[in-house]
Amino acid sequence: MEVAIVSDTHVPSRIARIPDWVRDELRAADHVVHAGDFDSADALATVEDLASDLTAVSGNTDVNLGLPTVETVTLEGVEFVVTHGTGSPVGYEDRVAETVREHAGSGPTVGVAGHTHRVLDTTVDGLRLLNPGSATGAPPATTVTMLTVTVEDGDLTVSVHERDR
C-alpha cells in the first residue's frame, strides 16, 4: 500500500495552490494523510478531491473545518496516529510522542505530525515519528516537501520528496 503524507499546505494565506507534482502524488496514493494546517475549506476540499482515501486532522490555522485534533488509521498492520503538533518548537518531539502514545493501540505504531514545516523521521523512546514538512513550501519552509510510505505486512519504507518552490 502506498501512503502519501503531507502537512502545512497553508492555501491561500501563504501559498496560492498545491504544486502539480504533489497533486500527482496524492492522486497516485492508496491513502493520503494530512497532518493539518490546510488553512481553508477550499484547500481541504482540494485534498479530499485528490485523495482516494483520506485521514486528516486540524492544525492551528484550521478554524471551523470540522476536523479532529487527533485521528488514527491502521494500514497494512501499522497504526498511524496523526496530530498537528501545535505548540513551541521546544519539546516538539516529546510532545508529539506523548500524544501518539495516548491514542495508540497495542500494535506497530507510527506518529505523524506537522507544524514545523521541517521534514523529520526520528525515533523517540522506541516510537517512530514522521513529519512531512510543508507540501507547498509555505514559509518558513524554503522547499516543497512530502513523504511517501510503502506499507506492507506491518513494515514501512519512507521516502522523502523535495523540490524548490
Domains defined for the chain, CATH in brackets: 2-164 (3.60.21.10)
- Show pLDDT as tens, one digit a residue, over the chain (165 residues): 999 999 999 999 999 999 999 999 999 999 999 999 999 999 999 999 999 999 999 999 999 999 999 999 999 999 999 999 999 999 999 999 999 999 999 999 999 999 999 999 999 999 999 999 999 999 999 999 999 999 998 899 999 999 998
| This model's pTM is above 0.95 | yes
Find all residues with CB under 8 Å of 53, minimum gap 6, and list them. 30, 31, 32
